[in-house]
Amino acid sequence: MTDFNTLSVVELNDLKANLQEKYEEYKSKRLSLNMARGKPCPEQLDLSMGMLDTIKSDSSLISQEGIDCRNYGGIDGLVEAKELLAPLLEVSTDEIIIGGNSSLNMMHDTIFRAMFKGVPGGDQPWGHYPKIKFLCPSPGYDRHFSLCEFFGIEMIIVDMLKDGPNMDQVEQLVSEDETIKGIWCVPKYSNPEGVTYSDEVVDRLAKMETKAKDFRIFWDNAYAVHHLTDKPDQLKNILHACKEAGHPNRPFLFGSTSKISFPGSGVAVMGSSKENIQHTKKQLSAQTIGPDKINQLRHVLFFKDFEGLKDHMKKQADIIKPKFDKVLELFDSELEGKHIATWSKPNGGYFISLNTLDGTAKDIVALAAEAGVTLTGAGATFPYRKDPRDRNIRIAPTFPSLEELELAIQVLCVCIQLVSVEKLLKIKEVC
């Protein structure tokens, strides 16, 4: 296909008129398509409906250890829930805490406790510093960045490379600033680029010397078993690596069944060293009566074991893989060779990351919205919602139907081309 950069002003203007016509046609259809959030589609959720039959009025609700799951107690979860979900984080059952339905909530609470009480190895609570900072490999997950904003934690952008964060930058930064207390990582099928960290990156994160004695890696392994191929990416175990490097307390691992069972009624988990876990459990007992044990039991009875859970994820992949394929197919046919966009081809996770020409993402998202196609806000994948190059757009293909998705991506491709042509015309004007 023709490289847009080689077109003359006349050709670009012709193209623009043609694209505008197409755009108006779509707009006249009064579409309402939403690709903003990484939400499972109803068919994915249907796969877990059997879970709702696992516990009935005549079921025994006594746990393996003899606990009445209906009553109070069990601040860190049932043993059987730990056995089911410890393999998700690749930790042992004494290195895990079972939470409520939201891993985001567990991350929030972990930061809150660190701000308020400190973590093992620290001299004082993080909140006692005039300002603390987190490294934010970007593009990244908007809700991680919102948490930092909520807590007034300064965010420092680190570039994402093909195999994880730019470790030269990371090592340099953490070695010289005691107030850098953490780094956000979505280490497998990262949000939004689908990058899985290489062994080397994991090792360097584990080994690096940090000026802060209480530095923590927030390892949000949200897509641990969310593969789109039969040859899934392999991720090195961060807790093992940190133990070997002599920094056992460095990582906090998070995960959940939100995108495995039900997003609103899943089970969240956190993993860490025994010392961190003990420290956390003690604080938890002041905070809450403990998470919903009946729901933990439902998950145990439905998935049976981790193998069962992994099998379930294959069925999920069967539903969403065609959607990812459709997006990639349309990008190929509509955008390939035009030199106006590049995009990720992930082996798992929930997103396709699209980079357009510098300075065009906001305009593209706004134009698509005008035609009824809602995308994640441009900039959302960067701290403070400011994409320094204004080029990254996150595509969430899972929720819409294949038909809706096809239409939405067609609209998007027209918007990308139209805004790109306008951008190129402006550049030509200046020259």
Which residues of this protein are in contact with a copy of itself, per CB under 8 A? 37, 39-40, 42, 45, 48-53, 55-59, 68-74, 100-102, 104-105, 108, 112, 115-116, 127, 143, 146-147, 149-151, 258, 262-265, 283, 286-295
Minimal distance, residue 346 CB to a copy of itself, in Å: 20
Contact 315, 47 (CB under 8 A): yes
Question: Which residue, 78 or 167, is less far from a copy of itself as judged by CB?
Answer: 78
Question: Which residue, 256 or 417, is less far from a copy of itself as judged by CB?
Answer: 256
Q: What is the DSSP string of 178-226?
A: TTEEEEEE--SS-TTT-----HHHHHHHHH---SSTT-EEEEE-TTTT-
**Geometric angle at alpha carbon 273, from 268 and 276, rounded to 5°:** 80
Question: Which residue, 204 or 312, is less far from a copy of itself as judged by CB?
Answer: 312
Please tell me the distance from the alpha carbon of residue 125 to that of residue 119, in angstroms, as a whole number. Answer: 7
Please tell me the distance from the alpha carbon of residue 119 to that of residue 135, in angstroms, as a whole number. Answer: 18
Minimal distance, residue 48 CB to a copy of itself, in Å: 8
Q: Can you read off the two tokens belonging to residue 129?
A: 């510093």
Minimal distance, residue 50 CB to a copy of itself, in Å: 5
Please tell me the distance from the alpha carbon of residue 66 to that of residue 405, in angstroms, as a whole number. Answer: 49
Q: Can you read off the two tokens belonging to residue 330?
A: 């349309």
Question: Which residue, 14 or 149, is less far from a copy of itself as judged by CB?
Answer: 149
**Geometric angle at alpha carbon 330, from 324 and 336, rounded to 5°:** 115
Question: Which residue, 110 or 347, is less far from a copy of itself as judged by CB?
Answer: 110
Minimal distance, residue 63 CB to a copy of itself, in Å: 11
Question: Which residue, 129 or 151, is less far from a copy of itself as judged by CB?
Answer: 151
Minimal distance, residue 292 CB to a copy of itself, in Å: 5
Minimal distance, residue 141 CB to a copy of itself, in Å: 13
Q: Which is nearest to 266 in space by CA: 24, 414, 427, 45? A: 45
The CA distances from residue 222 to 184, 191, 321, in Å, are 12, 9, 18
> Pairing relation of β-strands 33-35 and 96-98?
unpaired
The CA distances from residue 390 to 166, 285, 362, 367, 385, in Å, are 20, 45, 7, 15, 10
Question: Which residue, 18 or 265, is less far from a copy of itself as judged by CB?
Answer: 265
Minimal distance, residue 82 CB to a copy of itself, in Å: 16
Question: Which residue, 36 or 424, is less far from a copy of itself as judged by CB?
Answer: 36
Buried b vs exposed e over 258-278: b needs ≥16 C-beta within 10 Å?
Answer: bbbbbbebbbbbbbbbeebbe
Minimal distance, residue 246 CB to a copy of itself, in Å: 32
Contact 89, 253 (CB under 8 A): yes
Minimal distance, residue 58 CB to a copy of itself, in Å: 8
Question: Which residue, 143 or 243, is less far from a copy of itself as judged by CB?
Answer: 143
Please tell me the distance from the alpha carbon of residue 252 to that of residue 271, in angstroms, as a whole number. Answer: 6
